[in-house]
Structure 1
C-alpha cells in the first residue's frame, strides 16, 4: 500500500475561547483536499501527546446538529487539549464517514424512515465507514510526535493508525451526551461498529442539549459576567440522594457522590476562584474545600459564619490551598477574630439580614471587590436555599446518587416570608433551561441555567 506524502502550505495563529492554537494546512499526494492540523503548544519530539483525529462533519461541527456527537467531540477535544497546554487535532476532510455531504444527507432521510446509520449507508451503495487514516498518520509524523494518547471511542481508528506506525500509548475516551435525536445513532455505533461507549443505565434515552453549554464554556461565561457586573458568577453545585437528602440525620460525614462524579466536582473547583459553604458544613464535615483529584489551582474557601463559630482546629487552617475567608456579622468577638487571623484566616464583618444571616448581596459585592470572579456554592441547606431564594445563581450542577438517605433535605422552602396580599410564591419557583444530563458512573449529573418567571 502506497503511503501518501504531505506538505505544509501555510500556518496561522488561531485564538479561540479555549486558548491559542496554530492551524496548519496540508496538501497531499492522495487527493485534492485540504487537510488540517490544529496544534496547541510544543509537540515535536514529545511523548504521549493528546491527539484527536477528527473527520469533517459540517452538520455537527458547524451547525451544532444534535443528530450526532461530532461537534461535541471536536469542542471537548479542543478544551481538553487547551487544559493540558499541548496537543493536536488532525482535521480530515472526509465528510460523512467518507461518503460526502450529499450522500450523508440522503442517508439522514433514510434514517428518518427507520433505517440505522449502517443500513442507510449500504442502501446508498457505500460501506458503513469509508474513512482512511493514512494521511492523519503522515501528518502526525510530520509534526514529530513520538507517541500519542488518542481521543477516540473507535477501535478501527486505533487499529488503522497503529498499522501506519503511530505509537498509541493510551485511548482517551470521549463520553457523549445522549439526546432523543442521537440515541439510536449512538446505539448503532456500539452494537454494529464496535465503538466503546457507556450510554448509561438508560441505554441512551436521557435528554440533553449539549450545544447549549459547549458553545459557551463556563470560563467564558464567568469572564463575561464578571466584566459586565463586577460580581462573581455563582455556580450552585451539590450532591443529593434520590429522596433529596444531602446528609444523614446523624450529622456524620457521608460521601454521596461516586468516584467519577467526585472527579467532576474537583474539576469544577479548579475552574472557580472561590468555594463557599456555611459554618454548619464546616462544623459537621470539617472539609478541606481544595482540589485533590486533579491538577489545578485551589479556590479560596469562603465561609458564611454570622456568629464566628469557626473552629480553631479546622482543617481549612492548615490544608493545601488559600487560607479561608470568613464572612461574619457586624461586631465579631475581638479575641476570637484575633486568634483566627493569627492562624491565617481573614475575618470580614458584614451587615446581617433580619434573621441574623449574612446579607448575600453585600457578600457578593465584597467578593467582587476582592477580584473573585466566580464562586462555587456547595452547601449546606440554609446557604443553598438562600442563594436560590435571592435569585443569585447563574448555573446549577446537581449530582443525584442512586441511594435513599431519609436525612437532611437539600433545600428549605424557597418562598420568602408571606406578606399580606402577596402573590402565591409557588408561581415564581425557579426552573432550569439549557438542561443537560449525563451519567458519571452510577450518578446522574443534571445541570442548567436557573430562571425565575418574575425575571423573564
Structure 2
C-alpha cells in the first residue's frame, strides 16, 4: 500500500488467506521458520510484477552451501507429479517418540515428574483482521506467577477447567468469564447452548475433525513480534501458524500455546545482553552460554498441561525442532505427537518475508548447533 508520500510501504504480515485459496498449502511441509515482520531497510527494491505464476526466490546462498545444508527431513520429498497449486492441508511427517527411529530427535529432554496444575480463568472471542475468529484463553498455574495463553481456532476445542461449575457463581458470571456455548448476543442470560443462528462453538461432530488439530508451542518474543527484529523468525512463525490454522479447509482446528518464556527462557533483559554479544561476534547459542545461561532454558510442561485441559491427547505439532516433540508429550506421554508439520521462511518461497544477515546466522546456528531440521528440497528450483 502507498505511504503518505506515495512510496510503497513493505507489508508486515504474511498473506491473508482467501476463501478456497490453498495454492500454497503444500509449502508448509518443507520447514518451520516464517516471520511476520519486514524490516523497512531490507525491503525488496523492486515491487513484484503481476504474474499468473507466484514469484519465487532461491534460499540465501549461505544456507545452500554444503557446509550449512541440513540433513533432509524423512518423508518430505515431493512426488514428481505433485504441483504447488494442488489444494491440500499442510502435510505432516509421521513421528513416533516410542522408537529410536521415530523422527523425534536424539536429545533426551528433562521432563517434570508431574505436570503443573493449570486453570483457564477467562476466554474471549477475538475477531481478527483477516476475518477469522479465534478464542483467546488465559491460564494461571501453580509453578509461576505468569499468565500464559492458548489461542484456539475451531469451536470444537474447549477448556475443561473453564467449563467447570464454580461455587457460588451466577449465569452472568459464567457468561463474563467465557464459560458459555454458542454465541454471545445482547440480552443473553444463560450459559447453555443457545439456538440463535450462527456458528456454535463446542458442537463439532466427529466428521468435522478428521485428524488431530495443528498445534504450535510458541515462546514469547517481544523483539521479534513487537519491534520487528530481524535477528530471529519468531514473529513470522506466530503469524504463519495462525494463517495455517485459519485456512478455509482446516476442519480439525488449531491451538497456539503462547508461553511467557522470553529469550528461550532467560528473560528480555538477558536476551538484550545476548544481542550485544552477538554484535561482538558470538552466535545465539554462544551468547547465552557466555551469560551463564543454557543455550535453551525453556520448559514445556505448562504447554502439555494446557493441551490436556483443552481436551487434547493427540496433536500435529508445527515445529522444525524434532527434540521439542518428546518435551511436549509430557513425562508419561500425556500427549501423543502424531505428526510434525514443518514450515519455511516466506522469503525462501518468494512470498514476501524478509532477509537479513542476522536471521541467516540465527537459522544457521539453529541447524548446526540445535538440531533443527529444514528440508529445502525444491526451493532452489522455484517450487
TM-score if structure 2 supplies the norm length? 0.52
CA distance in 2, matches of 1:125, 1:92: 22
Aligned partner (choices 246, 268, 276) of residue 82 of structure 1: 246
1:252-271 correspondence to structure 2 within 5 Å: none
1:28-39 correspondence to structure 2 within 5 Å: 28-39=141-152
Q: Which string of whole-angstrom CA distances, capped at 9 and with x for unpartnered residues, describes residues 128-161 of structure 1?
A: 0000000000000000023111000112211201
Match of 2:107 in 1: none
Higher RCO (Cα < 8 Å, 6 or more apart): 2
1:66 matches 2:233? no
Kindly indicate whether the alpha-carbon contact (under 8 Å) linking 1:40 and 1:87 is maintained by their aligned counterparts in 2: yes
Match of 2:357 in 1: 180
Kindly indicate whether the alpha-carbon contact (under 8 Å) linking 1:121 and 1:127 is maintained by their aligned counterparts in 2: yes
- Identify the structure with the greater helix proportion: 1
Q: Which string of whole-angstrom CA distances, capped at 9 and with x for unpartnered residues, describes residues 91-136 of structure 1?
A: 0000000000000000000011110111100000100000000000
Match of 1:14 in 2: 126
Match of 1:144 in 2: 311
- Identify the structure with the greater strand proportion: 1
Aligned partner (choices 221, 224, 235) of residue 57 of structure 1: 221
1:308-323 correspondence to structure 2 within 5 Å: none
Following superposition, the deviation at residue 183 of structure 1 comes to 0.5
Kindly indicate whether the alpha-carbon contact (under 8 Å) linking 2:115 and 2:304 is maintained by their aligned counterparts in 1: no
CA distance in 2, matches of 1:35, 1:24: 8
CA distance in 2, matches of 1:139, 1:71: 22
1:102 matches 2:269? yes
Following superposition, the deviation at residue 163 of structure 1 comes to 3.7
CA distance in 1, matches of 2:120, 2:231: 34
Kindly indicate whether the alpha-carbon contact (under 8 Å) linking 1:190 and 1:196 is maintained by their aligned counterparts in 2: yes
Higher Cα Rg, which structure? 1
Q: Which string of whole-angstrom CA distances, capped at 9 and with x for unpartnered residues, describes residues 227-285 of structure 1?
A: xxxxxxxxxxxxxxxxxxxxxxxxxxxxxxxxxxxxxxxxxxxxxxxxxxxxxxxxxxx
CA distance in 2, matches of 1:122, 1:442: 35
TM-score if structure 1 supplies the norm length? 0.43
Match of 2:69 in 1: none
Distance 1:163 1:4, change over 3 A: closer
Q: Which string of whole-angstrom CA distances, capped at 9 and with x for unpartnered residues, describes residues 71-97 of structure 1?
A: 000000000000125110000000000
Following superposition, the deviation at residue 440 of structure 1 comes to 4.5
Match of 1:441 in 2: 379
Match of 1:27 in 2: 140
Aligned partner (choices 48, 61, 71) of residue 212 of structure 2: 48
1:127 matches 2:294? yes
1:3 matches 2:172? no
CA distance in 2, matches of 1:440, 1:129: 31
Report which stretch shifted further, 178-187 or 44-53: 44-53
Unaligned runs of 5+ in 2: 1-112, 159-205, 348-354
Q: CA RMSD in A?
A: 1.7
Following superposition, the deviation at residue 3 of structure 1 comes to 1.9
Aligned partner (choices 338, 347, 352) of residue 169 of structure 1: 338
Unaligned runs of 5+ in 1: 201-438, 446-456
Aligned partner (choices 114, 117, 127) of residue 284 of structure 2: 117
1:358-369 correspondence to structure 2 within 5 Å: none
CA distance in 2, matches of 1:27, 1:57: 20
Aligned partner (choices 325, 334, 342) of residue 158 of structure 1: 325
CA distance in 1, matches of 2:125, 2:330: 32
Kindly indicate whether the alpha-carbon contact (under 8 Å) linking 1:118 and 1:128 is maintained by their aligned counterparts in 2: yes
Q: Which string of whole-angstrom CA distances, capped at 9 and with x for unpartnered residues, describes residues 289-309 of structure 1?
A: xxxxxxxxxxxxxxxxxxxxx
Match of 1:450 in 2: none
CA distance in 2, matches of 1:163, 1:145: 12
Following superposition, the deviation at residue 43 of structure 1 comes to 2.7
Aligned partner (choices 358, 362, 372) of residue 195 of structure 1: 372
